[in-house]
A and B are shown apart, each in its own frame.
Chain A
Amino acid sequence: NAGVTQTPKFQVLKTGQSMTLQCAQDMNHNSMYWYRQDPGMGLRLIYYSASEGTTDKGEVPNGYNVSRLNKREFSLRLESAAPSQTSVYFCASRNRDRGSGNNEKLFFGSGTQLSVL
């Protein structure tokens, strides 16, 4: 079991360029998430997918789009990168437990360090 796999690990973009961050999980989890981590701040939710076929905005969705391609894969797209999107991006997944108040833990990928110049 690889867990949650993210690619690429590092990326440098120029302002206005576009790119897609890929994420795949092999744990048969229903829910998948994209977070960004900035210095001195807690992880912030960009978008999530509670189940295959659904996506919803999180706390900071502006400038991003997502696709839940199938149960395994959840991609994050930056259509026109801006310097404010320089951050470390984490994909996560978990098995949503409807009966116990979201007690299920999140499993994270290793992150993508993105710099926008």
Chain B
Amino acid sequence: KNQVEQSPQSLIILEGKNCTLQCNYTVSPFSNLRWYKQDTGRGPVSLTIMTFSENTKSNGRYTATLDADTKQSSLHITASQLSDSASYICVVIGNTGGFKTIFGAGTRLFVKA
């Protein structure tokens, strides 16, 4: 059973537009959540980390939110650029008698000129 679900699977937007990617998780107990960006042919790179007590965190044009009560996170991208075309992966760290890292399948974002 997938413990980290991301939606949509893929998304196409025009350059300059905003978009929001969703991540729902069932991992419990929860330790922290990270968003990674993966360019084609490259490994994932961390964008931001959210701990239990944090609701919002920004990194340039990227803003992540976390609702630990509903077990939902989102990644909002503002004023998209062509270089934002990538996969965005939600990763949840659970503390179940040992820390376990669980990866979502990712959202593939295409930004068109």
List residues of chain A with CB under 8 Å of any chain B CB: 4, 40-45, 90, 92, 101-103, 105-106, 108-111
Contact = CB atoms under 8 A, between A and B. Distances in A.
Main secondary structure of the interface of B (DSSP, over half): strand
Contacts of A106: 44, 46, 101
Interface residues of B, number: 23
A70 to B, nearest CB: 22
A4 B104 contact: no
A99 to B, nearest CB: 12
A111 B93 CA distance: 22
A92 B43 CA distance: 9
B32 A42 contact: no
A66 to B, nearest CB: 17
7 contacts: A42-B4, A42-B103, A101-B31, A101-B99, A106-B101, A108-B44, A109-B43
B45 interface: yes
Given A101-B95, A102-B93, A111 B43 contact: yes
Contacts of B41: 110-111
B105 interface: yes
Contacts of A90: 43-44
B95 A43 contact: no
B34 A105 contact: yes
Smallest CB-CB A-B distances: 7 pairs = A108-B43, A42-B103, A105-B46, A102-B99, A101-B31, A43-B103, A42-B105
Contact of B104 (A42, A92, A111): A42
B93 A101 contact: yes
Nearest to B6: A42
Contacts of A111: 41-43
Interface string B66-92: 000000000000000000000001000
B32 A103 contact: yes
A102 B41 CA distance: 27
A101 B32 contact: yes
Contacts of B44: 43, 90, 106, 108
B49 A105 contact: yes
